[in-house]
Amino acid sequence: MASASSPLDTVVLTIAHSLSAVERTFYKLPGSAIIERYVRSSHQNDPGRTFLELIIFFLVVRTLLQSRTRADSNNAKNFIEFTEKEIDELVEDWVPEPLSRPLDDIEAAELAAVPVVAGPNGPHPTLVNTGKPAINLASLNFTGLANNEHIKQRALEAMRKYGVGSCGPTGFYGNFDVHIQCEKDIAEFLDTESAILYWQGFSTISSVIPAFCKRGDIIVVDRAVTLSIQKGMEISRSTIRWYDHNDLHSLEEVLQSVEKERRKRKGPLTRRFIITEGIFERDGTMTDLPKLIELKQKYKYRLILDESFSFGSVGRTGRGLTELYNVKLICSWVPVPLDYVLPVVSVLDLRMLLNTSVLMLPHMYSQLRCPRYWLLIIELH
């Protein structure tokens, strides 16, 4: 008997020995007393509790180990397993559409009919297509400053001082003193707190909108706004509500319904914007600014007014709609591309009540790749 039980005894003894060794090492570890106390207090002679704790512990470990870059769980359902050979066959079979269709006759004729000016553009340019002079009712040169000799001269001086390109984005040594001066001059001209230059008219509003409007924000917008505004809204992923073109009654109805929805939902206050154009690019209609401002203030919206076509063309001294209607905008923004009035520059002008402008500018700069260009806004005065 003794001989039979001895190997069993040895095993039991070894286990007991190693267990006590583990226990001793455990108590030697710093902080082990805390763990012990925790386990004891949670156990409280109830194995169910320990079991529950263990489940929670394993769940936590599992969550931590799970890959953060989860494979598309939606796709996983739809995923079809193929063998390598089948994939090769599918690849072989796949015929993509051509990258572009060649132009058909109508489109080609359309492209051929695009006027091309020989030499400088102006009110009476010569056309390459016909070789004859024409009266220009197509170009955007409202103030006729395009070929102003004085501006040319000043631009030349600037070129001889700064070169042509600024070779860097604003953040990284592309912020020239002329840019700063120009922004200051524009802000002063429009009587606003500050202004910021963008390199291209189209990109101005389409990068400004996503800089402020985020997912969950509400944009109420005219149905006939220009494409750059539409693109900006698309990128912003905000909730978009449309109102009838230039119809402020329709706008008010939309504003009321948004307000009603918000009350029903009892959600947190989100940013709300009205976006419209001063003079519409599509049909040249003009927004009734005083009424718009009244509505905006009543319903507490921020207004983004695209003055691409009204800046420099209406108002006693060309300051746009605000001058025409003699109103002062507070805490709204008016983007005005200058390129139609003056050379090669676009402007966003921030009408800010608060001192937030400084804080937001870098954010918007970061969306720009291209450098800004010099401009002599002094000529406007």
Partner 1 sequence: MALNRGSSPTSSIFKKQKHSPSSPPTAASYLSALSQADARARNAQRGTPTSTPALSLSSSLTTSTEDTVLTEEDGGNSDGLAIPVGKPPNSEQLYTTVHTEFGHCYNEEYRHISQHPQGAPVPRHVEQDPPYYILFSTYISYLILIVLGHLRDFLGKRFRAQSYKHLTPHDGYAPLNSDFDSFYTRRLKKRMDECFLQPVTGVAGRTISLLDRYTPDCNQTQIILDTRTRALNVSSYNYLGFAQARGGCADAVEESMKRYGVTSCGSRLEGGSTDLHTLAESVVAKFVGMEAAVISSMGFATNSTFIPALVSKGCLIISDELNHSSIRFGARSSGAHVRMFKHNDMEALESLLREAISQGQPKTHRPWKKILLIVEGMYSMEGTMVDLPSVLMLKEKYKFYLFVDEAHSIGAIGPHGRGVCDYFGVDPRKVDVLMGTFTKSFGASGGYLSGNKALIDRLRIRGYSGAYTEAIAPPVLTQIIASMASIMSIDDDGSVPGAIKLGLHPSSSSSTLHQVVDYPHPGPISQRALPHWLSLPLPLASGAEGLMRLRRLSFNSYYLHRGLDKLGFITYGHPSSPIVPLLLFNPAKMIMFHRMMKDRKTPIVIVVVAYPATPLVTSRVRFCVSASHTKEDIDSVLMACDEIGDVLDLKHGLSKGERWSIDEVCRRAVELVHIPDHEH
Of residues 239-268, which lie at the interface with partner 1 (CB under 8 A)? Answer: 268
The residue behind tokens 């039980």 is: 5
Looking at 30, 47, 355, 381, which residue binds partner 1 (CB under 8 A)? Answer: 355
Among 14, 147, 257, 326, binds partner 1 (CB under 8 A): 147
Most distant CA atoms of the chain, gap in Å: 124
Yes or no: say if 369 and 174 are a contact pair by the CB < 8 Å rule. no
Contacts of 259 (CB under 8 A, 6+ apart): 299
Q: Are 245 and 222 in contact (CB under 8 A)?
A: yes
By CB under 8 A, tell whether 41 contacts partner 1: no
What's the order of all strands across the beta sheet hosting 302-306?
A: 194-198, 346-350, 333-337, 302-306, 272-277, 218-222, 239-243
Find the part of the chain contacting partner 1 (CB under 8 A) among 43-51, 97-105, 185-193, 284-292: 97-105
Q: 207 or 322, CB closer to partner 1?
A: 207
Residues 1-40 within binding reach of partner 1 (CB under 8 A): none
Least Å distance, CB 342 to partner 1, is 7
Q: 178: Cβ–Cβ under 8 A, 6 or more apart, which residues?
A: 158, 162, 374, 375
Decide: 115 and 129 in contact? Cβ < 8 Å. Answer: yes
Q: For partner 1, which is the closer residue by CB, 48 or 268?
A: 268
Q: Which C-beta is closer to partner 1: that of 176 or that of 189? A: 176
Q: Minimum distance between the CB of residue 168 and partner 1, rounded to whole angstroms?
A: 5
> Which span sits near partner 1 by CB under 8 A: 37-45, 102-110, 186-194, 248-256?
102-110
- Give the whole-angstrom CA distance, residue 179 versus residue 185: 10
Decide if residue 95 touches partner 1 (CB under 8 A): yes
CB of 36 to partner 1, least distance (A): 30
Asked if residue 51 binds partner 1 (CB under 8 A), the reply is no
Give min distance, CB of 336 to partner 1, in A: 13
Candidate residues 50, 53, 175, 250; the one interacting with partner 1 per rule CB under 8 A: 175
Indicate the helix (H) or strand (E) that contains 41: helix 32-43
Residue 363 interacts with partner 1 (CB under 8 A)? yes
Site track 204-243 with partner 1 (rule: CB under 8 A), x = hit: --x-----x-x--x--------xxx--x--xx--------
Q: How far is the CB of 46 from partner 1 (least distance, A)?
A: 38
Rounded CA-CA distance 322/278 in Å is 9
- What end-to-end distance do the CA atoms of the chain give, in Å? 116
Phi then psi for residue 86, to 5 deg, are -65, -40
Told to check if 184 binds partner 1 by CB under 8 A, we report no
CA angle 300, 301, 302 (to 5 degrees): 130
In 3D space, the residue among 272, 269, 220 whose CA is nearest the CA of residue 248 turns out to be 220
Q: 26 is written with which tokens? A: 């455990």
Residue 332, Ramachandran bin (φ over 0: left; ψ between -120 and 50: alpha; else beta):
beta
Out of 50, 53, 152, 315, the only residue in the binding site for partner 1 (CB under 8 A) is 152
- Which residues inside 298-337 make contact with partner 1, applying CB under 8 A? 300, 302, 331, 337
**Least CB distance from residue 365 to partner 1, whole Å?**
8
Q: How far is the CB of 88 from partner 1 (least distance, A)?
A: 8
Which one of 27, 82, 184, 330 is in contact with partner 1 (CB under 8 A)?
82
Binder among 163, 223, 328, 378 for partner 1 (CB under 8 A):
163
Q: Is 64 in the site for partner 1 (CB under 8 A)?
A: no
Chain centroid offset of residue 220 CA: 17
Rounded-to-integer distance, Cα 344 and Cα 334, Å: 18
Please pick, from the candidates 156, 223, 253, 317, the single residue that binds partner 1 as defined by CB under 8 A: 156
